[in-house]
Structure 1
């Protein structure tokens, strides 16, 4: 792991049955980067994020994942002290992962769970710091008017902004976002991507986001990592990713659906 890296993946593999979702993946993520993970469905993008966040184990063997200089997992086992590391990593999901019957305020305040304890949170005994941080995050993302509303009554874009606000209350230093705009309309999707970029550039958070929309990857992220069949096939500046490489990654049909103004 380099001195500047906050995440390091070395020789990580993950097998599901006979399918190798990750095949010896190695990657360093520097502090303050905003990286897009792209690639066709089944290429290993979500598997990689879930492995980094210790939501699943990688295969036993040489694979090692570290964050902030400390172990997350190795040899197919989650590190016993991973909970402390995970409090600094916020995970954003495609389907928001909010508790629908709870208010938006409560969902966002739950970002402080790792600091205040389960029972205090379950009883709604929020410290003043959590209350202020929650309302500040909701206001920042334009959803404070919905604080008392049940999460399942909100639009997809509002819920996703709530999920990002929860990561802010969590005081995460790294945000892993797994297809955060896949289920959103174009306007909501752009707003969510604008928020992630703002958190990266203004707050200095490290952001790793998986995207199916290659144009978003090139527009919002300076670095792009492309996966294909569990292998890293491109890792470099967004400006260096050319149309012929994208066709190689996604297949010849990609050119037929590519947007106007594609890189050449």
Structure 2
């Protein structure tokens, strides 16, 4: 059985230049990153700002193409990209990838129901999706997903009228409807209050434990990563500096990753 995710020798550089000028140098956001996800774990991506977390997540879905010479990225046995080029199977791989972003990525003028139903687009004829011609079974799936995340009563509201937490739960419901096998979440709780953030993280745990969905989530909140994730990938300067269980992150290891200021920023003793 193929790995859920397999990343080999991934590097990504960005050209740095002033407007209207030729690039003066290159910044290496990812530097020879490799890891494998053999089963649906909850993986927390942590590390200082600029360490490459979001670049790694976007590379997994093919939204960012890696440097030439980078090894392959495969998702459920399908090649997303290799050697600086997207793979022929990238679209089929994306059909099994759910994406959740800090900005929620819902269409504000559309109802919550319609936004969640858009998770079906990769699995139904395009014309039906374009005109919102959902079957009775599909409508039931959407409402069941909304009920799972606790906002079925908001189905008819326009997305822009919902709170941030409700919109984020809507994005999770969309991934449920999509029947995603792997969920990529980029700072999903960064703009939420602590109570709502915990509810969103608990929903990610539910998807993993009850539905067998793999979760890879970038977090600035180290305490959330340690509480809600069973595996931690820590990045620093584009390299993986820790890959192991969440309970293996000692205070000394966190200081190596973030610097001594982590002791003041961290809300509890991480040892």
Runs of 4+ in structure 1 deviating by more than 6 angstroms, as ranges, are: none
1:111 maps to: 119
Distance 1:70 1:114 in 2: 16
Tell me by how many angstroms 1:129 deviates.
Answer: 2.4
1:122 maps to: 130
TM-score by length of 2: 0.94
1:229 and 2:237 equivalent? Answer: yes
Distance 1:183 1:215 in 2: 16
Q: Secondary structure at the match of 1:24?
A: strand
- Among 215, 230, 238, the alignment partner of 1:207 is 215
Matches within 5 A, 1:89-104: 89-104=97-112
Tell me by how many angstroms 1:4 deviates.
Answer: 6.1
Distance 2:2 2:251 in 1: 31
CA-based RMSD of the aligned residues comes to 1.0
2:261 maps to: 253
1:177 maps to: 185
TM-score by length of 1: 0.96
Deviation track 1:192-237 (CA, whole Å, cap 9, x = no partner) reads 0000001111111111111000000110111101000100000001
Matches within 5 A, 1:61-80: 61-80=69-88
Alignment check: 8 A CA contact 2:2 2:77 kept: no
Q: Secondary structure at the match of 2:117?
A: helix
In the alignment, structure 2 segments of 5+ residues that lack a partner are: 16-25
Distance 1:139 1:253 in 2: 42
1:9 maps to: 7
Deviation track 1:56-103 (CA, whole Å, cap 9, x = no partner) reads 111111321001112110011111221111100101101100001100
Alignment check: 8 A CA contact 1:4 1:31 kept: no
1:147 maps to: 155
Q: Secondary structure at the match of 1:202?
A: helix
2:48 maps to: 40
1:238 and 2:246 equivalent? Answer: yes
In the alignment, structure 1 segments of 5+ residues that lack a partner are: none
Count of residues in Structure 1 that have an aligned counterpart in Structure 2: 261
1:168 and 2:176 equivalent? Answer: yes
Distance 1:4 1:197 in 2: 23
